[in-house]
Amino acid sequence: MMHTITARDLMVSNLVTLSPDMEVIDALNVLLKRRISGAPVVDEDRQFLGIFSEKSCMRFVVDATYDGLPSSNLMSFVDASPPVISAETDLLTIAQTFLDAACRRLPVLDDYGRLLGQISRRDIMGAFYEHMKQVQREPAVTGLYLSALMESTERPV
Q: Is residue 2 part of a domain?
A: no
At residue 154, the pLDDT reads: 41
Q: Is residue 1 part of a domain?
A: no
At residue 82, the pLDDT reads: 95
Q: Is residue 118 part of a domain?
A: yes
Residue 55's domain comprises: 7-153
CA gap 94, 102 in Å, rounded:
13
DSSP state of 82: -
Q: Is residue 56 part of a domain?
A: yes
- Beta carbons of 148 and 154 less than 8 angstroms apart: no
At residue 137, the pLDDT reads: 84
Q: Is residue 119 part of a domain?
A: yes
At residue 1, the pLDDT reads: 38
What is the number of domains present in the chain? 1
Other CB atoms within a 10 A radius of the CB of residue 33 amount to 9
- Residue 50 belongs to domain with CATH number: 3.10.580.10
- Beta carbons of 113 and 42 less than 8 angstroms apart: no
Q: Which residues of the chain have pLDDT under 70?
A: 1-3, 69-71, 139-157
> What pTM does this model have?
0.80
At residue 143, the pLDDT reads: 55
